[in-house]
Amino acid sequence: MPALTRDEILPTVTEIVAKVFGLPTQELSPELDLRQIEGVDSVKVLRAVATIEQRYDIELEDEDVFKLKSIDDLATVIEKTL
66 CB-near residues (< 8 Å, 6+ apart): none
* Shortest Cβ 59–another protein spacing (Å): 9
Say whether residue 44 binds another protein (CB under 8 A).
yes
- Pick the closer one to another protein by CB: 11 or 58: 58
* Shortest Cβ 67–another protein spacing (Å): 12
* Shortest Cβ 29–another protein spacing (Å): 24
Q: Distance (Å, rounded) from C-alpha 49 to C-alpha 68?
A: 10
